[in-house]
Structure 1
Amino acid sequence: MHNCRAKEHSSPPILSGIVLFAWIISISCTFVQTVSGQANFTERGVPASPQNPDSLLIGLKTNYNSAVGKNNELEAAGYLQQIGRLLFISGHYPQSLDYLLKAEKIFRNRGQKKMLAANLNMLGELYYRTRRPQLARKQYDEALIIYQNLRQESGKAEIYGRIGHLYEKREMYDSAFYFQHKALHSYELDRRTDGAAKIYENIGSIYEDLGKYDSAYFYFNKAYALNARTHNARAQVEVVNNLGDVLRKTGRFREGLAYSLQSLKLAQTNGERYQISSAYNDIAKTYNLLVRNDSAFHYLALSRSLLNDIYSEESNKQLALLQTLYEIEKKDNEIAQLTQARRIDTLISIATGIVIVLIIAVAALIISRQRLKIRNEQKLLAQHKQVYEAQSQLMEAELKNKKLEEENLKQQLETKTQELSSYTLHVIRKNQLLEDLRARLDEMIKDDKRDQRKQIKALSEQIGEGLQDNRHWEEFRGIFEQVHQSFFDRLQQQTGPLTANDLRLIALIKMNLTSADIATLLGISQDSLRVIRHRLRKKLNLAPGDNLSAYIQSI
């Protein structure tokens, strides 16, 4: 890494020619750094601007359009990344960011982790160049995670080196050393000598920033040795230049001059024009320190002349590239407009066809539906007519059946009523007969004939038991419930618990029998019947003025 700060000298109040010349050289060094930083990105492994970036851009754009035409999204993303890289190298950062972000989206969607990590690495460098270190670090961290998951030591090493460089620029040298050493370790695991040489150079640059020139010289020498082993003459140019800087800063001007001349020769051999200009500038500074101002002016003039040529060429390249970008964007916009117009025309044609087809289909559907509706209505009307006729016939049959059932029920009811009446009369006659027999037997008992008194008394008791026999009551109740259905259920709902004798009395009252007939059927006197009726009124909770017979008939 170059450090163009001129060594400070004390000077008398009147500015001497040497000091003035050193000031000119310092200004020139700043100019070299500014121009070199805009167009030559050889530092930290970024390639310099190509000779014909406009032609290269056209070729990449043509290949991208071809990939899009083949629906090869992944290939298209690769060309997007290359276009973004070309624009980044050429210093067109906003346009580069646009292409790189498009490529990143495709790589993410397609799960291309390795390509995504490389793209994130490039985005991080772009954000660093545009002075957004926080965004740069975010890209580096994500790329580092991917490389760790893929177990790619070279990828990890490159990211570690870039993070270390971020810390170096923020003058956080402990962190910078930490990440550069991690990068060195990863390169050594992957046996990447060229990468390790670059990290040694980065570590030397940190020591140079700290003013620890012996350590800086040590690490620059290690980078020099590795580049010599791999015959990497291009990387050697900057390492030799850095060695010359360190020697010059430590006062070893002639040794530093030798390294600067060696750097110039290597740069000329490899055609590295920026490095040639930088070597001229370093040689001029060294001659200035050796108080050889004529040589210093000579090399300074060579540096500035070469920089002017480079700057002019780069400006022309920038203009050509901008013109190409403009033409490409204009062409893309025209193509997009034509494509959009074609799409709109196609959509209008398709929509018109669809509308016509829909109108025909709807019309056919409406006609078909109307015909179907008419047929269905006719079928439904016929079905309704059949159903109506069937229902009418069924209703007539049901009506006849109901009439027959009613007549049958009436006949059954009349039969049951007659049976109930006959049975009741039979029981009444039987009980009356038995009552007369018992009365006569009671009179005979009163006679003095003791021998037959005992037999007659037993016969009277037997007759009494016959009067109280409940078997006839069960038969009576069965017939009664057939005639008066659910009567006892309704009665139980309106009153409290009733005994069998209570139910028997209520049933006889329901049949409208006289008190004399009821007393005869129950085998009791009429006085006893009045007492029983009084008790029943209380159980039924009747008021004093309510008629018991009317109440029972209402149930």
Structure 2
Amino acid sequence: MNYVALFYFFKKYKSLTFLVLHFCCGFFCNFSFAQIETQDHSKENNEQLHNNFSRPDSVLLVLKEQYNKAVKIDDQVKAAQYLHQIGKLLFSSGHYPQSLDYLLQADNIFRKQKQMILLAENLGTLGELYYRTTQTSLARKQFDEALSHYQNLKDEAGKANIYGHIGHLYEKRQLYDSSFFFQRKALQAYEQINQKDGAAKIYENIGSIYEDQEKYDSAYWYFNKAYVLNKQQKNDRAQIEVLNNLGDVLRKTGRYREGLNFSMQALAMAEKTGEYYQLSGAYNDIGKGYNFLNKNDSAFYYLSLSRKFLNDIYSEESNKQLALLQTLYEIEKKDKEIEGLTLARKTDLLISIATGVVIVLVILIAGLIISRQRLKIKNEQKLHEQNKQVYLTQNQLMEVELENKKLQEENLRQELEIKTKELSSYTLHVIRKNQQLEDLQAQLEGLVKDDKRDQKKQIKQLSDQISAGLSDDQHWEEFRGIFEQVHQSFFDRLQQQSGPLTSNDLRLIALMKMNHTSSDISTLLAVSQDSLRVMRHRLRKKLNLPQGENLSNFIQSI
């Protein structure tokens, strides 16, 4: 291969080569295990992480194991920290989709747990990922939110880091004024807290901006400031890149010997630290320097060494990538199996719970039905008892009522007997009175027939008074009142079966109802037997009795 062609190949594809190498091995050059070693890590775990530093697949396994332990003890914050570190590992290894998944999981937990400092750091990593995938607007959104959290927390180091990222965004878009603004704000924040490593990195970033603008004097000045600070801090890793940048600026300004000197220093430092990536870069820069000095043999030698180390890096990184991919695949496969088992257990648990709920519901429903039946039976028994009690009470009431009726009937019977006796006594009294009156009347009539004319008038008057007494209705009304008490509504029923009746008719009927003899009736009515027969005959006509029907029987039937 022509030396000049080889030189221009590296010159043309320098940025692309360095970008790919940065994606593939940046994690192994810059990943700090202090970030993944939480305070409660055991010494054995820390040693395991350091021993597996050159094996990203082993680191991934360790982080995944620690994450599972955190999940098992339900330490969500620690679990989210491991998710964040897994996301950073996958991001540095170029596995952006997987990295995004882990970082978003961590973001969700940090927000829920209100871990603002950890959330801001995770947002910064998300911003870098979006930037690498050319999603500039999303990257700026993450950086802005992270910056807001750092400002609230008054975290100057966090602010400076984000300012640097934002400045880098503007640099790639060739908006150099905005890039300078944010890089200088980052530098101010680092100087405020006297963090020289961070300040050195910002000086290097500013130098790169000036280099892009071909302002090599300013670029050299800022690269030199970074060089001084790294030397003070004895930061050899960062110093190698600064030395390479100083050599580039000197070569671009035609100071090839001075530039070659810086590249040689970078080579020595890279050999000392064992940084293959930096070794390849240093060999490349030395080859370019010798090419500019027209020492093509040396240029070819160093460019060949650069290509050899570059191939070795690619070969090693390819193996690491394959191992990491295999590990990631196995982890995802295992996670899916665990998720399937968990889902199956949850399904079984849900089925068991559902079965238990159904059984409990059946038992409850059966118990409710039995309880309702028992309650129904109990209510029916209670109702039966109540009905029985009501029936007994009604029977008692009926018995009491019957007893009362019997008592009433007995009282009425006794009262009727008393009235009957009174009526009979009254009748006998009237009969005796009338008989006495008749005797007196007969005696008086005898006196009247006597010849003693001087007494005749007085005796006649006395006889007339006795006759008037015999025919007086006053006693009849008293008799009728007592009779109606004994024979209730008798006269009303009689009037319904006959035409109009006189008071003499009613007296005759009443006496016949009382079963008095004809002689007693004639005496009571003060009439003769013949007159009584006439009265009976007339009464039959008024009562419309047919021929042959007994008058006394008819009256008794009413």
TM tier relative to shorter chain: 0.5 to 0.7
Equivalent in the alignment of 1:270: 273
Q: Is the aligned partner of 1:38 residue 2:11? A: no
Q: Kindly indicate whether the alpha-carbon contact (under 8 Å) linking 1:32 and 1:278 is maintained by their aligned counterparts in 2.
A: no
Higher normalized contact order (CA 8 Å, seq sep 6+, divided by chain length): 1
CA distance in 2, matches of 1:165, 1:287: 32
Equivalent in the alignment of 1:396: none
The offset of 1:383, in angstroms, is: 6.4
Q: Kindly indicate whether the alpha-carbon contact (under 8 Å) linking 2:3 and 2:300 is maintained by their aligned counterparts in 1.
A: no
Say which of 182, 189, 201 aligns to 2:204: 201
TM norm structure 1: 0.64
Equivalent in the alignment of 1:350: 353
Equivalent in the alignment of 2:84: 81
CA distance in 1, matches of 2:28, 2:53: 15
Q: Kindly indicate whether the alpha-carbon contact (under 8 Å) linking 2:28 and 2:53 is maintained by their aligned counterparts in 1.
A: no
Residue by residue over 1:466-520, the C-alpha shift from the partner in whole angstroms, topping out at 9 and shown as x without a partner, is xxxxxxxxxxxxxxxxxxxxxxxxxxxxxxxxxxxxxxxxxxxxxxxxxxxxxxx
Distance of aligned partners of 1:17 and 1:68 in 2 relative to their CA distance in 1, 3 Å threshold: closer
Equivalent in the alignment of 1:359: 362
Bigger Rg, which one: 2
Q: Is the aligned partner of 1:252 residue 2:230? A: no
Aligned length: 379
The offset of 1:35, in angstroms, is: 3.0
Say which of 139, 142, 155 aligns to 2:145: 142
CA distance in 2, matches of 1:87, 1:321: 9
Q: Kindly indicate whether the alpha-carbon contact (under 8 Å) linking 2:80 and 2:106 is maintained by their aligned counterparts in 1.
A: yes
Equivalent in the alignment of 1:171: 174
Equivalent in the alignment of 2:224: 221
Within 5 Å, which residues of 2 pair with 1:367-446? 367-379=370-382
Q: Is the aligned partner of 1:233 residue 2:218? A: no
Equivalent in the alignment of 2:129: 126
Q: Is the aligned partner of 1:101 residue 2:86? A: no
Residue by residue over 1:317-360, the C-alpha shift from the partner in whole angstroms, topping out at 9 and shown as x without a partner, is 00001001111111111111122222222322332233223212
The offset of 1:175, in angstroms, is: 0.2
Q: Kindly indicate whether the alpha-carbon contact (under 8 Å) linking 1:47 and 1:89 is maintained by their aligned counterparts in 2.
A: no
Residue by residue over 1:258-314, the C-alpha shift from the partner in whole angstroms, topping out at 9 and shown as x without a partner, is 001111111111111111101111111111111111111111100011000000000
Q: Kindly indicate whether the alpha-carbon contact (under 8 Å) linking 1:260 and 1:283 is maintained by their aligned counterparts in 2.
A: yes
CA distance in 2, matches of 1:113, 1:388: 84
CA distance in 1, matches of 2:158, 2:78: 22
CA distance in 1, matches of 2:298, 2:358: 87
Q: Is the aligned partner of 1:115 residue 2:118? A: yes
CA distance in 2, matches of 1:388, 1:203: 113
Q: Kindly indicate whether the alpha-carbon contact (under 8 Å) linking 2:288 and 2:299 is maintained by their aligned counterparts in 1.
A: yes
Q: Is the aligned partner of 1:336 residue 2:339? A: yes
Paired residue secondary structure (1:246):
helix
The offset of 1:163, in angstroms, is: 0.2
Residue by residue over 1:4-47, the C-alpha shift from the partner in whole angstroms, topping out at 9 and shown as x without a partner, is xxxxxxxxxxxx96654543343563563253233133799666
- Structure 2: unaligned runs, 5 residues or longer: 34-51, 395-558
Deviates more, 1:39-48 or 1:19-28: 39-48
Letter of the structure 2 residue corresponding to residue 336 of structure 1: E
The offset of 1:382, in angstroms, is: 6.3
Say which of 313, 316, 322 aligns to 1:319: 322
Letter of the structure 1 residue corresponding to residue 319 of structure 2: N
TM norm structure 2: 0.64
CA distance in 1, matches of 2:253, 2:31: 30
Distance of aligned partners of 1:360 and 1:25 in 2 relative to their CA distance in 1, 3 Å threshold: closer
Q: Is the aligned partner of 1:29 residue 2:26? A: no
Paired residue secondary structure (1:251):
coil
- Structure 1: unaligned runs, 5 residues or longer: 1-15, 392-555
Equivalent in the alignment of 1:71: 74
Equivalent in the alignment of 1:301: 304
RMSD: 2.8
Equivalent in the alignment of 1:55: 58
Distance of aligned partners of 1:328 and 1:338 in 2 relative to their CA distance in 1, 3 Å threshold: same
Q: Kindly indicate whether the alpha-carbon contact (under 8 Å) linking 1:148 and 1:156 is maintained by their aligned counterparts in 2.
A: yes
Distance of aligned partners of 1:234 and 1:209 in 2 relative to their CA distance in 1, 3 Å threshold: same
Letter of the structure 2 residue corresponding to residue 317 of structure 1: K
CA distance in 1, matches of 2:353, 2:29: 56
Residue by residue over 1:48-87, the C-alpha shift from the partner in whole angstroms, topping out at 9 and shown as x without a partner, is 9951011111111111111111111111111111111111
Identity of aligned residues (%): 63
